[in-house]
Structure 1
Amino acid sequence: MKKFLLLFLLLIPSMFAAAQQFSQYNTGTLFDSFENPSQRSFIRDSSYNMASNFLIPNFGGYAFLTGNAQRSVQTRLFDERYDNSQLKVGEGKLNHVIGNTGVYLLMFKWYAGMQGDKEMGISFKTKGEANGTITDESIALFNGSANFQNQAYNQILNSKGYYQTYHQIGFSYREKLSKRAAFGFKVNFLMGLQYQEILINNSSIAFDKAADRAELALDGLYYASENAGRFKASTFAPNFRNPGASVSIGGSYKNEGGYIWQGNVKDLGFIHWSGKSNTYRVLGSTTLTDLSRPWREDTVRNQLSNLLKSGYMSTGSFITPTDGVAEASVAKKYFFNYDRTFGLMPTLIVQKQLFYPGITGALVNHLQYNNLTITATASYNDLRLFNFGGQFMYKSPNFEFYLGSERLLPTGRMVLQRFGNNSAYTGADVFLGFSLKFGRPVESPLNASYIPMGEEKGFFGRFFDKIFGKRKGGGEL
């Protein structure tokens, strides 16, 4: 990922770029139950009472770039050269880069009680988030002065963006409130790893091609956490230097018509970066040299990095939000045979980022036959990007495996290194997961060796009844 966002990628070596998979909605997998807290992962009289991924990583990630710079990034990434033919130098056109990744290193959940079908779980996850806009000219500059026809330019290098990585230790709880409703939450302790942010408000550059150099001036801010930009094994060791917290809350309700309504607020939280973090007031200039030499990319990167760190620096802590989202969905399952072994479940989802611009709509269709499920996912976001994805999943009551991508076409082009000049965006997306259930069978009261007396509701279920009253009838959620 080092070369993906050429201001971050070349100024800030390596960037994590994985998010909630829409394709996992209403699948009942262990991953689904951690990401959508009101979803169950155990089935009475079918499942064992414990589930885990056994330290086999369950991961998902995507990164994509829109704008004129796609061809430049593609050729630099795979051909070790810049094809800047699509850049519009002098117009300040913006390219958007977005990345999100998540890797569940540990997921463990257990069936905690029949009263309310309670489920509890613990997890360890590593996350990365990135978002930014970068001008055509900022990317062209890494190839020297070849694409700049004029002698002087103003405000063409005004770019901004951030990335952060952190560990997440979570505890989850899910309870059935009634036959129709369920509620769940996941609380997380966060351990920040790295954070960097660049905000360039004003810029100017003047070329002296005869001397093979340029004078660059920037006005902006640069934030860097302790050890930012340093990548070695110890960088990713759990630590308490940058603590934080986040929460995910979800609820679901199945109405009389069989429609399942679900709402979630996910990863709403913050990270407190340590007092050894740095904030730079960038206000100065530097000379870029050797702009026609083979090592021009390294020269530009090093000089820009020095300029960002040359201004006034204050050392101290700061707080950043996590990339929280709010989601709402509706789904209904249709069966094509009497045995209910062949069915289709369409789900409509709307997702809104809470702290950053971004809204996405998705339509997910699960086609299930016995233990096999094929999923087709279509989504559209406010960047006017249409995505189509697919998933293959084998899921029995005690075993599950899935593999897929929610951006099949750009991912395929990335893998094959074949790029079209007219693509809406360049990117890649992949997710994979596995889990296994073990322990004792989860038995319903009629089959169990011990039969609990009284209502099968937990604390939240009894509280729910006090507010809304007891309800009768309806299918189970």
Structure 2
Amino acid sequence: MRIWVFLSFLVFAHLVVKAQETSLIHSKTVFDSFENPVNTAFVPEVSNKYAVSFLLSSFSTQLRFKGDIEPSLKAFIFNRDSIKGGPLLGANKQNELTGNVNYYLAMFKLFKSIKYQREIGASIQFRNIGNALVPNSTFAFLDSYKNFNSPYADVFNSTALNQSFWQFGLTYRENYNEKLAFGAKLSFLSGATYHQIDIKESAIRLLTKGYEAYFNGSYQSNLGTDSVEIKNLLPNFKNPGMAITLGSSYAFKNGMYVTAHLKDLGFIRWNKNAVSSTFSDTLTPTKIDTLIPNGNIRTNLNRMIATGAHLGKFTSFLPAHLQIAASKEFGLYKPVFVATQYFDGRGTQLALVNNFRTGAFNFALNAQYDKPNGLQFGGLVMLQSLTTELYLGSEKLLPSYYFTKGMLNKDANIGRSPTQMNIFMGLNIKFGRKVQSDGMADFIDGLNDAETGFVYRLSNKERKAVRKEAAKNTKKANKRRN
């Protein structure tokens, strides 16, 4: 991804904050058992032995932007209109641009045994993590440098981070006793892309022909200033990392089920060819014309970064967080309370999920609160039978509805600030023989088996009987020949 594109509004399409599919916590889905490894994906005595999904395992995406640029960004998304940043210069406020993509390419789960309810799983997952703050003046410049009639400071002052990686996870859980259980997810990480920029000082001044722009800040990327290509997004061993999630659960006598997870404690070690650069320079772009209104500023930025760059390894970290959840069933109704504490400055998120089950269908309505987003409402519709899990939901129902309505009607004025859209879906299949105890089993291997075992056939007694039978057959054959 080129530095100029990274500075532009397109950053929102690649940036991520770790989203929680709150509606699926304590849902006994395969997804929940991978995100929260102490939670079970199987029900003893009735569940099949294997759970598997591929390509359609689980997918979630979230988009959020807040600031004066919202109407213009929505007009671009809905109608491909150009960004109109000039009118925003009067109040040079920051715009928050965030998003989320969390995709399980494949999941496999094995119900190992009823005793201790052991479950083993493996998964392949692709994730992004990031955040961005971009001022109105940057969008005004993207519109045209001519929006600045006089010298202007802090034009490009922005911070942005984009980190994407593959996660190959192994999970294990078991009951310690009838009440207490433990689970863990150990993941090997394969870093795909990393871009971070921090522009602390900047300014622009018009010249007789063109303009000059000042930049002071830092930049770090595993790709330098190169564009992101498909090959960069494929798994590799160039940027290894590790992550762990630990969980514990306790089942009370009154039916309450409580879980606690320390999640995403991990790092990625980016290779020796990663670029780190500090810069402080004034650029005077050329080749300014009607086709390229701002001239060759991209090329100049790339050169500036290359001048102050050095190659070397560095380490990035995942945003670890602590999550506690409690639930209890009341017939067809099951409420789930969830509290999540982030360690990266995002504070605390509180949520209440209301599950209503009828037959094989589960309907959930949830309310969640955190400081950046305020109070949000979400929902879920899920078909959950002994062999199939199919679900569709959103953690931000009303904003997602207005975003979709605006997109269908091509109307950027529909909806309120902040602009948000969230959707998640998944499909999992369970197959194989049911895992049951002997007293409940529909079928027990070897019971009433008419054949003898392989080991038994290798015993001396069995071998003698076989040789004796062979000798009789040989004697009969010789008599027929005579």
Band the TM-score falls in, shorter-chain normalisation: 0.7 to 0.9
Query: For residues 301 and 339 of structure 2, what CA distance do their matches in structure 1 show?
Result: 39
Distance 1:382 1:85, change over 3 A: farther
CA contact (8 A) 2:85 2:136 kept: no
The answer on whether the counterparts of 2:113 and 2:435 sit within 8 Å (CA) in structure 1 is no
1:393 aligns with 2:382: yes
Q: CA deviation digits over 1:327-351, x for unaligned, max 9?
A: 122222211xxxxxxx122222122
The corresponding residue for 1:439 is 432
| C-alpha contact 1:145 1:291 (8 A) present in aligned 2 | no
Which amino acid is 1:214 matched to?
A: Y
* Aligned-partner Cα distance in 2 for 1:346–1:436: 26
SS across alignment from 1:350: strand
Q: How does 1:195-274 map to 2 (within 5 A)?
A: 195-208=194-207, 211=209, 213-226=210-223, 230-274=227-271
Q: Counterpart of 2:145 in 1: which secondary structure?
A: coil
The question of whether the paired residues in 2 share the 8 Å contact of 1:172 and 1:184 is answered with yes
Deviates further, 226-235 or 362-371: 226-235
1:315-354 to 2 correspondence within 5 Å? 315-335=311-331, 343-354=332-343
The whole-number CA distance in structure 2 between the counterparts of 1:160 and 1:275 is 24
**Secondary structure, aligned partner of 1:142:** helix
Does the 8 A contact of 1:334 with 1:344 survive in 2?
yes
One-letter code aligned to 1:68: D
Structure 1 pair 407–44 and aligned structure 2 pair: CA distance change class (3 A): same
Question: In 2, distance between residues paired with 1:403 and 1:371?
Answer: 15
Equivalence for 1:80: 81
Provide the C-alpha distance between the structure 1 equivalents of 2:402 and 2:6, rounded to a whole number of angstroms: 20
What CA distance in whole angstroms lies between the structure 1 residues aligned with 2:165 and 2:427?
A: 23
Equivalent-residue separation in structure 2 for 1:123 and 1:22 (angstroms) = 20
> Helix, strand or coil for the counterpart of 1:116?
helix
Once the two structures are TM-superposed, the CA of residue 291 in structure 1 deviates from its matched residue by: 7.5
Where is the helix percentage greater, Structure 1 or Structure 2?
2
Deviates more, 1:309-318 or 1:322-331: 322-331
Secondary structure of the equivalent of 1:334?
Answer: coil
Is 1:312 the counterpart of 2:305? The answer is: no
Structure 1 distance, partners of 2:385, 2:87, is 50
| 1:165 counterpart letter in structure 2 | S
Kept in 2: contact 1:372–1:395 (CA 8 A): yes
**Counterparts of 1:419 and 1:387 in 2: how far apart (Å)?**
21
**Which letter does structure 2 place at the counterpart of 1:400?**
E
Q: What's the CA shift string for 1:96-119, capped at 9, x where partnerless?
A: 222232111110010112221010
- How big is each residue's C-alpha offset from its partner over 1:263-305, in whole Å with a ceiling of 9 and x where there is no partner? 11211100000101000112112135687845437x4762574
Q: Alpha-carbon deviation of 1:390? A: 1.5
Moved more, 242-251 or 56-65: 56-65
Shift in Å, 1:384 = 4.1
Inter-CA distance 296–273: structure 2 relative to 1 (3 Å threshold): same
Counterpart of 1:454? none
- Whole-angstrom CA distance in 2 between matches of 1:71 and 1:6: 20
Unmatched 5+ residue regions in structure 1? 336-342, 452-477
Cα distance, 1:97–1:412 mapped onto 2, change above 3 Å: same
Amino acid in the other structure paired with 1:119: E
Classify 1:363/1:83 alpha carbon distance in 2 versus 1 (closer, same or farther; 3 Å).
farther
Aligned to 2:42: 42
Judge conservation of contact 1:133–1:160 (CA < 8 Å) in 2: yes
Once the 2 structures are TM-superposed, how far is the Cα of residue 429 of structure 1 from its aligned partner?
1.3
Question: Which residue is equivalent to 2:448?
Answer: none
Correspondence list, 1:82-231, <5 A:
82-84=83-85, 87=88, 89=89, 91-145=91-145, 147-148=147-148, 150-208=149-207, 211=209, 213-226=210-223, 230-231=227-228
What letter matches 1:253 in structure 2?
A: Y
- Give the aligned length: 436
Aligned mates of 2:335, 2:132 — CA distance in 1: 33
What letter is aligned with 2:129? E
Q: What TM-score results when the alignment is normalised by the length of structure 1? A: 0.84
Partners in 2 of 1:349 and 1:23 — Cα distance? 10
Deviation at 1:415?
2.6
Root mean square deviation of aligned Cα: 2.7
What SS does structure 1 have at the residue aligned with 2:197?
strand
Q: 1:91 offset after TM fit, Å?
A: 4.6
Aligned twin of 1:415: 404
Q: CA deviation at 1:68?
A: 1.6
User: Residue 424 of structure 1: which of 417, 429, 435 is its match?
Assistant: 417
Distance 1:248 1:375 in 2: 26
**SS of structure 2 residue aligned to 1:309:** helix
**Structure 2 gaps, min length 5:** 446-482
Give yes or no for contact 2:257–2:328 (8 Å, CA) kept in 1.
Answer: yes
2:237 counterpart letter in structure 1: F
Tell me, in whole angstroms, the C-alpha distance in 1 between the residues paired with 2:195 and 2:221.
Answer: 5
Q: Secondary structure at the match of 2:115?
A: coil
Give the Å deviation of 1:380. 2.1
How many angstroms does 1:205 deviate by?
A: 1.6
Pick which of 301-310 and 254-263 moved more.
301-310
Number of the residue aligned with 2:461: none
The answer to whether the Cα contact below 8 Å between 2:12 and 2:99 also exists between their aligned partners in 1 is: no
